[in-house]
Structure 1
Amino acid sequence: MLRLVLSIIGGVVVAFVLVFLGDMLSQSLAASAGPAPTDMNDRAAMEAWMAGLPMQVFIVMLATWTVAAFAAAAFAARFARRGAWPGWVAAGLFLCATAANLFLIPHPAWMAIAGVVLVVAAGWFGARSGSTGFLRGA
């Protein structure tokens, strides 16, 4: 049971480390749009700032979320050794965090849709890959 819990937590930690690294890259790309608003609760200012971001920022964010969801699910499924479902749990937790991000910070609608679809797909594929031996070399 401890292995199961630690595998899921480890998968989520892996995802958040990857998102942190991806955010560092996307913030360097976002520098051309100027500094982010200091008041994150000012939705209009956040929307205006997000609208001025270059497309590469959104592509990097989506790629990061996709890789993070895959990694979280694959890690949890691989190390739990109980099939794919621990990976789905880790990916589901990451999906909840992604949804909270999309809800709290205004993103373009296309990105919200793509983000949810990509996180779900990558989580499913990561869980299957981690549980079937694809990642074990078997």
Structure 2
Amino acid sequence: MNPILRNVLAVILGWFGGSLINMGLVRIGSSVMPIPGVDTNDLNALAEAMPTLDFKYFIFPFLAHALGTLVGAALAYRIAANHKMKFAWAIGGLFLLGGIAVNYMLPGPTWFAIADIVLAYLPMAWLGRKIAGKL
């Protein structure tokens, strides 16, 4: 396969695969630990409730962001024809931008925003790259 096409495919499939993991974990989290009296499909209601939520309600969102990035970066690394590390980092960067946007649109506690931005994206892209390199 043409290396350029393969590299484009690495980004698309890394982003898509990581997003599936992310969305799946968010959905599972809202069914395992529903927020009482809040429709999680209503972003305005969710944004109002976010600052008042306990720690336990942020476990699944953090896992969704971290594991989505990890899987996406690993997929990109495995699929890319060359410069594999750069493609894993690119997925981490894309997910980081998404995480910043979500933390802006749904402002939660400051501790969560910091932990999410610092721990869930670039470190997970690095780890995904390391894991994929050993497979």
The Cα of 1:37 is off from its aligned counterpart by 7.7
The Cα of 1:59 is off from its aligned counterpart by 0.9
Partner residue, 1:14? 17
**TM-score by structure 1 length?**
0.82
Query: In the TM superposition, what are the counterparts of 1:54-69 in structure 2 within 5 Å?
Result: 54-69=54-69
1:40 equivalenced with 2:43 (yes/no): yes
The Cα of 1:51 is off from its aligned counterpart by 3.4
For residue 63 of structure 1, what is the amino acid of its counterpart? Answer: L
Partner residue, 1:87? 88
Pair 1:29–1:106, CA change in 2 (3 A): farther
2:31 equivalent among 28, 33, 47: 28
Is 2:30–2:40's contact at 8 Å kept on the other side of the alignment? no
Query: Size of the alignment, in residue pairs?
Result: 130
**TM-score by structure 2 length?**
0.84
Is 2:74–2:129's contact at 8 Å kept on the other side of the alignment? yes
Is 2:51–2:107's contact at 8 Å kept on the other side of the alignment? no
The Cα of 1:106 is off from its aligned counterpart by 1.2
SS of equivalent to 1:31: coil
Pair 1:52–1:41, CA change in 2 (3 A): closer
The Cα of 1:124 is off from its aligned counterpart by 1.6
SS of equivalent to 2:43: coil
4+ long deviations beyond 4 Å: none
Alpha-carbon separation, structure 1, partners of 2:9 and 2:27: 27
RMSD: 2.1
Partner residue, 2:71? 71
